[in-house]
Structure 1
Amino acid sequence: MAKGERKRRAEDALTGLRELLARALGAAEGARERAQTRRAQLEFEKEVRSLGLARAEADPGVRERLDTDPALREVWDAITADRDARYARWQAEGLVEVHRLVAAEAPGAAGEPWQTWLGPAGTDPGATTPRLWRIGTGLVEHSAPGDAFPLAVPLLGTGHLRVATAPGSRPAVDALVESLVVRLVSAFAPGLVRLHLWDVGHLTGPLPALHPLTSAGLMVVHDPTRLDDLLAQLAGHIRRVHAHSLRTGQPVAAASAAAGRRLEPWRVAVLFGNGDRLPDEQYRELNRIARTGPEAGVHLVLVDMPVTAEGPIETVTFTGPDTATCSMTGPGVVVRADPPAPPAQVNLAATTIAADVLVRRGRPREFADLVPDTLAAESSVHELRTPVGFHEGEPVEVVLGDATPHALVAGPSGSGKTNFLYAMLAGLAARYSPAELELYLLDFKEGVSFAGLTPGRKDPSWLPQARLVGVNVNTDREFGLALLRFLAQEMAARAAAAKRHEVTKLAELREADPQGHWPRIVAVIDEFQALFSGRDQITQQAAALLEDVARRGRSQGIHLVLASQDIAGIEAFWGKPAVYDQCTLRIAMPKAKRVLAQENGAAIALPRWHAVVNHESGVAHGNEVAHVPDASSRGTFDELQRTLWSLLPSAQPRLFDGAHQPELATAADYLRPRGAVLGQIIEVEDRSGTFRLEPVPGRNLAVIGTAQADALSVLESAALSLGALHSPQDCLFHLWNPVPALTERVDGLAARLRHQGHEVHVRSADDMPKLAADIEQVSAESAQRRFIFFYAADGAAHYLEAKESPLDKSGLDKLRLLLKNGPSTNAHTFGWWRGMGRFKETLGFGGMDDIGGWVALDVQGTELNTLAAGQVVDWSPRPHRAVFFDRTTHSRPDVLIPFDTTTALEVP
């Protein structure tokens, strides 16, 4: 190939390469320019959408760029075309759908103009709740004013509303909040919506046109410095509602729907802040309420109150004096509050609603309002529940169950504590039959608070649920100890039954054993601190038993109600918090101390006839203030008791009255004796101290002490009961009396025994020189039983010690042989010694084994230790009380009350 041809071909190739590179570079430059244009368009579109078309259109910089850049104009035209298309669809379909939705979900006062409903009180029982509540109007940007639509937000049963203000927007904010609140209180029957108003900057609070609601308790204006109290009150209400829902297994909304009416009023708290974050504890509590409130019917309307709770909170953010945006509609919709109703008409409507509440409540709540329409129809399987008073016309209840097993009631003298107990007992008795509830009532005061619950001379009725009533037991602490022992035994019996049926709780036991008798037991002990007034065994045992019952009784359906004038200073419980911790139900009467939590001073300024009911161990958020009706005047509790008595067959309750000696003639063990009846045992069961006589050594009884009337009563009770137990042919009575002053009583006993047909030999003071011979005669073996009653045996000492000759046995020696050998030959001695020293002298060395039982009257416990098989006898004498010990049957001495034998001694 020629050299020139090769050169030409090379130049052509180079030229082609240059052209190809030029085309490639041009294409790359065009792509870069297109990419830059597209990027500019996308950034512009983002900017426009961020600003919004209305603001972008009004922005001079945007307009200038549109005029100079055709590429941006294309984007603008596309955006506006899309807007116009979507707005056309909105005008054709969306507006109609929004109007339809608000009309359907916000009916009546929830969404209609105020002119159609403001004024008369609502009548809706609240079985169904509007899902939306109107707060104003919304208008899509660049829309005609006629295209405005109603704006409504969810609230009751759903969530909360938060409003953020802007400079100059407070009048519009107040109008929005006021209109919403007026809608809430007008949509339902008065009382179903309760308002709480708090404003950090105003003592009287905003929304003055609504203040007539405060007269009926429908709105409470809270002190701006006491936000803690308001939050604690709302939190406490939420806890109570949730606890009730857990117990019943049904939320409030579901229960209300089933009942066809709202069972629990809604509580709406309107809080006006200043935009500052609350202190940490208040902030946490407010967020907890925001999270848990809606399910319990507690809702918040927050103005400039920062919260961070995750929950259904809609937000209205003001952007100007009268414009805002809403989280429901987004930034492209301008929100305006509805014009408020005239203040005069709002005030009139609020006054009408408040007046309607007062009319609906009618008269002040009375005792009759504590009683249900149907008596004794409720079940105690899961709990006991009854109203005890009223707050703003609504019942305030006490609940005894697994969650609140025991109660503490405190109040100084005259504060209404006894009246409260009567109100509580009346409510319980009216709701639960004796098969569902048993009551054990004990009053340590010097009085007869509960005596009327048993039959009396004028009124033969009794409270059917009452099984035991103890009054005037201020000196008989043993009776309180006996009640605690009984409860511990019942608790053990129920626990054993539950174990047999492989269950753990009373509700489960009743389901597993439907034929069993497993009522809930409520033991009311008034002035219970008297149990621990001494430093003795009674205090130690009572403290241990009370702690055990308080700790384990809840699962077995045994509940304590412990009442006191002041529970301070009970040393027995120092270091033993179990009782107080288990008493989660606290009731404080006016000026009560120490029963509520230390920082809870709600009872200090409480008016008369009121009580603080707290199911949260006295913590302030659990406070419920109740007006307690008069439950103790004639025609209240007594009338209910007579009605229940005629309606509910039941066994007569036992009455233990520590101020009266029981009568021997009516004692059950005297009418059906099993031995020598000595006195009534201080015990829950109505039983007597009985000394059984068998033909074995030691079956003799000693009565020791100088209390003559009580000693005579013990001897007479023993003799008369033995006379009733044995036939006249079977026994012989010997009455030895060395004291002339006792002649009348001894002769009276002899006459009564002879009237029964018994042979009685009486030896008076004049016959004492023959006493030694009588003892020898009685000691002789005989098939006939011989009962020897030796009155004031120490008074015959000089006769017993006399001897005719030094080699003869004295009467004392013969008496000791009688005590030693007599029981084996059916000769039993009942002796009374007026002093422990004389008694020991009579028995001599080793003679203690010949006295199998003893009754000590005014003898100190330290003198009795040697007679009680080495036990420490913790006994301090008191009038008409004795301590009885039978070494063959007793592990500890029993305290008994000598009988009044007057009626039993009468000869017909």
Structure 2
Amino acid sequence: MLGRRERRDRATEAFNRLRTVLNRALGAAAGARERAEVRKRQLEFEREVQRVGLGAAALDPELAEKLADPAFAQVWARINAERDESYVEWRAEGLGAVRELVAAEAWGPAGAHWEHWLGAIGQDPGVRSPRLWRIGSAQVEHASPADGFPLAVPLLDQGNLRLNSVPEARAAVDSIVETLLLRLLSTFTPGLVRLHLWDIGHLTGPLPNLHPLTAGGLLVVHDPTRLDDLLGLLAGHIRKVHANALRASGRTTLREACEVAGRRVEPWRVAVLFGNGERLADEQYRELNRVARTGPDAGVHLILVDMPVSASSPLETVSFTDAERATASITGPGIVVRADPPMPPGIVSRAAAAIRDDVVVRRGRPRSFVDLLPDELGRGSSREELRTVIGFDEGEPVEVVLGDATPHALVAGPSGSGKTNFLYAMLGGFAARYPPDELELYLLDFKEGVSFAGLTPGRKDPSWLPQARLVGVNVNTDREFGLALLRYLTRELARRAEAAKRQEVTKLAELRDAEPEARWPRIVAVIDEFQALFGSRDQITQQAAALLEDVARRGRSQGIHLVLASQDIAGIEAFWGKPAVYDQCTLRIAMPKAKRVLTDDNYAPVSLPRWHAVINHDSGVPHGNEVAHVPDASSRGTFDELQQRLWREQAGAVPRLFDGAHQPDLASAPEFAHPSGPLLGQVIAVEDSAATLRVEPAPGRNLAVLGTAQNDALSILDSLALSLGKIHRGENCEFHLWCAVASLNEHVALVQHALEDMGHRVHPRFDSVIPDFPDNGVPQFVFFYAVDAAHPVLEVKEGFGPSGLDRLRALLKNGPANHVHTFGWWRGVGRLKDTLGFAGTDDVGAWVALDVQGAELNALAAGQIVDWSPRPHRAIFFDRSTHSRPDVLIPFDTTTALHPEES
């Protein structure tokens, strides 16, 4: 029994101990929970105090009631103690640092009191901007006013500003905006800051004291019902800055691009939008946020008043709680913000008018060609691009750029719209900036006239444009010359591409870095009325279209740029289905009333005044428009004076002038002084060269001149004879001149005398007897004038011997091997075939055709299709031993060469 009781007592004792431990644990848990709940309430109280601010919390009745709770009173005491301790530290160290920071970063009008700057005209060139802009003052809640500090926010090149108001604070908000805008305008040279105002509730626009700025183009008040237009304008400007200034400079922000350029390349745009606190429609809201997000890097900034916007953009916010007090995101809730007192309205209006008047004076001075030129000539590098001022928009320079981003240009404008003047302004600006080692110009004008002829030496003005390498004028009937230019550019492309491949680079800038000693200038080819190249459905059109497309596509990377100008590009059928040319011509210039050069929805040229142009570097879309007034660049005393100055300072090789209305003089031809072969005429090609004939002891080395154009036929024969006379001196050759037409005897006598004056033996014949030509060891040259006129006599046989025609055929067949070469003139292809007989065409290995249709020449061109349309003073030359395709020639004027004594 005792053992059982003892065990029960021990169990009871253990149970009591367990109960005691559990009670203690439950009591501790309850206490911990109570303490946790108190702590949670204290933290929530502290968070609420921090949210509204210590000063506001002291005035809040609900929070004041909570202070009766000892737990909250303890937190309140601690916060105040910490505040007092922090404020002492802030007052000793932070206050001065903030004041010093604002003074350093908000220099000039950005931070000074208005009395120090209002009414003065800004002089800063805008390369960089103050980082901070004063909008008012601030102080710690319940602190002494003496401990206040200026409140400044980042804006230009930094971010945007949002102002949230209450009804009684609208005057303070307007004061902040007005003062801030005048700080911007008064810091920089007038024109570097452009303002846009939009107010959802005011038809006349807010901030009336600033309205004098509208007359100077510095302020635009937008229709409250057309917010879409304003947002589209800002978005378009952002795209334009990225497409032009940023892409061209390789920088990511406009601020960096301006620092590299050493000047403000684009004005700042500041848009002030007054809302009503309601969120915009979805599409407008998205567009507003896009502008807020991407604008600061492109120099576009927003000041939003009661306009909800997302927090994803660089944005500082000032929120008013009553008529005077506000909080700012840059300082936090514990700081009370107050707007600076408004400036006197009369002084504000006068200051705005003074800025407007300064802009008007600056822009009011008539702009001239000189304003397009740099201070120093020939200092530019074309490594990255070509850039020049082309005109002015309200006094601000507008540039054209040819480079990797905008490789080619289309220029369009009807007759009299100023297209030629624009081209001269552009060429003058380029030539003034880039020396000949940086820029080469190839200029071609397909319309009748001599627009570019003055760029080469003339009788009255011996100067020339040093950058010009080729000038072609009056080529409206010589489409082959345009084709020759495109072939030349294609060859130059291949040469540059090979060099780039050799250096393992892809762009001209990289090639120039890889080969610093080599000469790799940028090339600009200007083709005025270029659509003339595609005027017919023929091989020239097909070849020109293919070549132009190739140059347009590959020229971008090799520094070869096209400027294609036209009165109307609407009907160029050659480009249907070939978008490469238009797509690559991202620079579009539209003169007044121009059609189709911009996009179909871009109507800017319709209302354009004279002497103005739309400059668009974005393929003609409306947001890329820049309207420029282009000064007079073609009158006396403009381009010509620049050319003479450049010629004196930089002149090198004389550019080649090709004048389609001028027949080249044989005596003046460079090849005539020391000919490498007998000359036929001037080749229509980029190089100034003459066509030569291979004369060697080989079968077929005879020539036929075909056509009824007598003067041109005689010119070709004369050029052959006189140049052969230059090649062979003295007695080492003989000439035989046959003429069966009495009317030509006098001309043949002139040729005879000219050859005899050179010391040659000349045998004239005025009959149709074909003698034997024994090999006497020297070349013999037989010139037969009007062969077909002698046919009736040549066909007559005397007895059983060969006829004269048989002897002529034998001469053509066997003569060249015995150093006897015949150069004859037939007045038609059929007459030549009659002379040669069956299978005799191989005996005339070369021919020059005048007024003969191409279809008649196919049988003489080794199976090729000859696409040739005859025209005065032009010929087509084909030598089956050297040519893959015929050359077009201009017969020489041989008057001076035949009458040297008269010259």
Fold conserved between structures, TM > 0.5: yes
Q: Which residue of 2 aligns with 1:612?
A: 614
Secondary structure, counterpart of 1:730 in structure 2: coil
Residue 187 to residue 55, structure 1, CA distance change in 2 (3 Å):
same
1:758 paired with 2:763, answer no
Specify every segment of 5 or more residues in structure 2 that has no aligned partner in the other structure, as ranges. none
Aligned equivalent of 1:181? 181
Q: Where do residues 701-850 of structure 1 align in structure 2 (5 Å cutoff)? A: 701-764=703-766, 768=767, 771-772=768-769, 775-777=770-772, 779-805=773-799, 807-850=800-843
Match of 2:850 in 1: 857
- SS of aligned partner of 2:246: helix
Q: Distance in 2 between matches of 1:261 and 1:502?
A: 35
> Residue 886 of structure 2 aligns with which residue?
893
Distance 2:406 2:11 in 1: 106
Stretch moving more, 223-232 or 868-877 = 223-232
Q: 1:603 aligns with which of 583, 602, 605?
A: 605
Deviations 1:376-403 (A, max 9, x none): 2222222222222222333222222222
Q: Name the CA distance, whole Å, in 2 between partners of 1:756 and 1:23.
A: 139
The percentage of aligned residue pairs carrying the same residue is 68
1:35–1:831 distance in 2 versus 1, CA, 3 Å: closer
Structure 1 residues 503 and 449: alpha-carbon distance in aligned structure 2, compared to 1, 3 A threshold: same
Alpha carbons of structure 1 residues 26 and 848: separation in structure 2 relative to 1, 3 Å: closer
1:403 equivalent in alignment to 2:397: no
- TM-score w.r.t. the length of structure 2 is 0.92
Residues 106-145 of structure 1: CA deviation (Å, up to 9, x unaligned): 2332122212221111334445532221112334444566
RMSD: 3.1
Q: 2:643 & 2:574 partners in 1: Cα distance?
A: 37
> Does 2:880 correspond to 1:904?
no
Cα drift, residue 30 of structure 1: 6.0
* Superposition deviation, residue 19 in structure 1: 9.0
Deviates more, 1:161-170 or 1:663-672: 161-170
Deviates more, 1:477-486 or 1:787-796: 787-796
The question of whether the paired residues in 2 share the 8 Å contact of 1:172 and 1:321 is answered with: yes
Query: Structure 2: which amino acid aligns with 1:409?
Result: V
Q: Please tell me the residue identity of whatever aligns with 1:131.
A: R
Question: Greater CA deviation, 339-348 or 846-855?
Answer: 339-348
Change (3 A) 1:260 1:591: closer
**1:474-489 correspondence to structure 2 within 5 Å:** 474-489=476-491
> Counterpart in 2 of 1:876?
869
Are 2:233 and 1:229 aligned? yes
Separation in 1 of the partners of 2:668 and 2:674?
Answer: 11
Q: CA deviation at 1:200?
A: 4.7
Counterpart AA for 2:354: T
Aligned to 2:575: 573
Name the SS of the counterpart of 2:613 in structure 1: strand
Distance 2:352 2:827 in 1: 82
Residues 550, 173 of structure 1: CA spacing in aligned structure 2 closer, same or farther, 3 A cutoff? same
1:649 alignment partner in structure 2: 651
For 1:797, give the aligned amino acid: H
Question: Equivalent residue of 2:631, what SS?
Answer: coil
Q: Offset of 1:674 from its aligned partner?
A: 2.6
Cα distance, 1:245 vs. partner? Answer: 3.0
Pair 1:367–1:847, CA change in 2 (3 A):
same
Q: Secondary structure at the match of 2:815?
A: helix
Between 49-58 and 337-346, report the one with greater CA deviation. 49-58
Other structure's SS at 1:604 match: helix
Partner Cα separation in structure 2 for residue 250 and residue 494 of structure 1? 30
Equivalent positions of 1:510-529 (< 5 A) are 510-529=512-531
Q: What is the alpha-carbon distance in structure 2 between the residues aligned to residue 686 and residue 396 of structure 1?
A: 38
Relative to 1, partners in 2 of residues 1:50 and 1:272: Cα closer, same or farther, differing over 3 Å? closer
| CA gap 1:522/1:48 in 2 versus in 1, 3 angstroms | closer
Distance 2:657 2:553 in 1: 28
Counterpart pick for 2:449 among 415, 425, 447: 447
Q: For 1:855, what is the secondary structure of its paired residue?
A: strand
Q: 1:571 to 1:70 in 2, by over 3 A?
A: same
Match of residue 354, structure 1, among 353, 356, 368: 356
Rounded to whole Å, the distance in 2 between the matches of 1:261 and 1:855 is 61
CA contact (8 A) 2:680 2:717 kept: yes
1:245 aligns with: 249
Q: Against the structure 1 CA distance between its residues 388 and 280, is the aligned structure 2 distance closer, same or farther, given a 3 Å change threshold?
A: farther
In the alignment, the residues of structure 2 paired with residue 309 and residue 877 of structure 1 have an alpha-carbon distance, to the nearest angstrom, of: 73
1:66 Cα deviation after fit: 4.2
TM-score (ref. length: structure 1) = 0.91
Distance in 2 (alpha carbons) for counterparts of 1:171 and 1:820: 107
Counterpart contact for 2:249–2:257, Cα < 8 Å: no
The 1:188/1:2 distance shift into structure 2, 3 A limit, reads same
Q: Which amino acid aligns with 1:776?
A: P
In the alignment, residue 213 of structure 2 is paired with which amino acid? L
2-side partners of 1:223 and 1:660: how far apart? 60
**CA deviation after TM superposition for structure 1 residue 526, in Å:** 0.9
- Deviation of residue 205 (structure 1)? 3.3
- Give the conservation status (yes or no) of the 8 Å contact 2:413–2:590: yes
Partner deviation per Cα, 1:133-159 (whole Å, 9 max, x = no partner): 111233444456665543211112322
1:114/1:746 CA distance change after superposition, 3 Å: same
Gaps of 5+ in 1: none
* Corresponding residue SS for 2:606: coil
Q: CA–CA distance in 2 between the matches of 1:19 and 1:564?
A: 106
8 Å contact from structure 2 (residues 128, 255) kept in 1: no
What's the CA shift for 1:15? 10
Aligned partners of 2:777, 2:662: CA distance in 1, in Å?
A: 41
**SS at 1:575 equivalent:** coil
- Listed as ranges, the matches of 1:227-626 within 5 Å are 227=230, 228-246=232-250, 253=255, 265-275=267-277, 277=279, 283-308=285-310, 310-360=312-362, 363-626=365-628
Closer, same or farther: CA 429–25 of 1 in aligned 2, 3 Å: closer
**Superposed displacement of residue 535, structure 1:** 0.9
Question: Structure 1 residue 896: deviation in Å?
Answer: 0.7
What per-residue deviation string (whole Å, max 9, x for no partner) do you get for residues 752-808 of structure 1?
Answer: 2233233333334xxx3xx13xx124x444334322222222212211122333x23
How many residues end up aligned between the 2 structures? 895
Measure how far apart 1:716 and its partner are. Answer: 1.6
Q: Is the 8 A contact 1:233 1:620 kept in 2?
A: no
Deviates more, 1:551-560 or 1:855-864: 551-560
* Code of the aligned partner of 2:138: G
Q: Does 1:153 align with 2:166?
A: no
**Amino acid paired to 2:102:** V
The residue type paired with residue 615 of structure 1 is H
Instruction: Indicate if the aligned counterparts of 2:50 and 2:333 stay in contact, CA closer than 8 A.
Output: no
| Mapped contact 2:50–2:334 kept (Cα < 8 A) | no
Structure 2 counterpart of 1:688, from 674, 687, 690 = 690
| Higher mean C-alpha displacement, 618-627 vs 808-817 | 618-627
For residues 79-106 of structure 1, give each alpha carbon's deviation from its aligned partner in whole angstroms, at most 9, with x where no partner exists.
Answer: 4444455455555655554444333332
Give yes or no for contact 1:324–1:336 (8 Å, CA) kept in 2: yes
Distance in 2, matches of 1:89 and 1:789, equals 112
- Three-state SS of the structure 1 residue aligned to 2:173 is helix
**Distance change (3 Å), C-alpha of 1:705 and 1:198:** farther
Deviation of residue 596 (structure 1)? Answer: 2.1
